[in-house]
């Protein structure tokens, strides 16, 4: 993640202008004393952000100074999720306690009547003009103080994932992550922050984190503009 961020900074600053080539994998390994695996993962992130293009025997060419307007991750593990999250900035909007009603419980797969704490936030790539994500993070109220560690109303580097902080505090372990992707009509508040009209089509990415005993530890609801997120899979036939 640090290597990807460093290369992004150099590309924005013009150290590697559009049309130029980045150092080879071998050069980066030698200069930075990192493994080839680390270099390849960092370059993969830049490819998926639309900053560079890679071709066999032709090297890595810079094709843009800023990430593309469309977020198209290729994620196969929790470490991939952390890598992408680490490239974003975050601004907290509000923190509140609530009792989950039937409608919210059905939409988030949270038991109705239970007490939760919700943090509302925005996430975006540095130098973007429009946030990429309008997010809502829900944790059981007993863990709600985890949100007190971060500022509200200030852009700052994205913090470590909430479930990891709960693990460290409560001594539990997240064993399973479930993901659900749905087409939605963007509600008014989210639409305003994402610079579209209320009711415009969008995408909801819902991540729920479960402890080893099945208990629900965190629910993270991400809302995207319809033109800023796509999801693809690749399956190999036997």
Domains and CATH numbers, the chain: 2-62 (1.10.10.10), 78-225 (3.40.1410.10)
* Cα–Cα distance for residue pair 120/111, rounded to 1 Å: 20
* Cα–Cα distance for residue pair 13/1, rounded to 1 Å: 18
Give the pLDDT confidence score for residue 145 in this predicted structure: 92
74 has a pLDDT exceeding 60: no
H or E segment and range at residue 62: strand 59-62
80 has a pLDDT exceeding 70: no
> 132-161, pLDDT tens digit by residue?
999 999 999 999 999 987 778 889 888 888
Find out whether 132 and 71 touch, Cβ atoms under 8 Å. yes
37 vs 117, higher pLDDT:
117
> 86-135, pLDDT tens digit by residue?
678 899 999 999 999 999 999 999 999 999 999 999 998 877 889 999 99
The pTM for the full model equals 0.70
Query: Where residue 221 falls among pLDDT bands split at 50, 70, 90?
Result: very high
Give the pLDDT confidence score for residue 82 in this predicted structure: 61
Give the pLDDT confidence score for residue 159 in this predicted structure: 81
Q: What is the mean pLDDT of the chain?
A: 87
Q: Half-sphere exposure of 63 toward its Cβ, with a 13 Å CA cutoff?
A: 15
Give the pLDDT confidence score for residue 49 in this predicted structure: 79
The segment with the largest mean pLDDT, out of 15-19, 138-142, 163-167, 213-217, is 138-142
């Amino acid at each position: 993640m640090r290597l990807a961020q460093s290369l992004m900074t150099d590309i924005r600053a013009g150290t590697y202008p559009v049309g130029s080539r980045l150092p080879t994998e071998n050069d980066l390994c030698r200069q930075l004393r990192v493994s080839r695996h680390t270099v390849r993962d960092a370059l993969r992130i830049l490819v998926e952000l639309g900053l560079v293009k890679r071709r066999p025997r032709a090297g890595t060419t810079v094709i843009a100074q800023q990430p593309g307007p469309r977020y198209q991750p290729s994620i196969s593990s929790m470490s991939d999720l952390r890598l992408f999250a680490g490239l974003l900035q975050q601004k907290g909007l509000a923190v509140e306690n609530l009792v989950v009603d039937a409608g919210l419980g059905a939409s988030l797969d949270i038991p109705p009547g239970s007490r939760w704490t919700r943090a509302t936030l925005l996430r975006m790539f540095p130098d973007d003009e429009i946030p990429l994500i309008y997010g809502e993070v829900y944790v059981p109220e007993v863990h709600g103080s985890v949100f007190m560690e971060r500022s509200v109303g200030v852009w700052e580097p994205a913090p470590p994932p909430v479930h990891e902080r709960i693990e460290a505090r409560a001594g539990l372990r997240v064993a399973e992550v479930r993901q659900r992707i749905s087409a939605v009509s963007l509600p008014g508040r989210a639409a305003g922050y994402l610079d579209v009209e209320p009711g415009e089509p969008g995408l909801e990415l819902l991540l729920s984190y479960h402890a080893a005993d099945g208990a629900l530890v965190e629910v993270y609801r991400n809302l995207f503009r319809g033109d800023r997120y796509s999801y693809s899979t690749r399956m190999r036939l036997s």
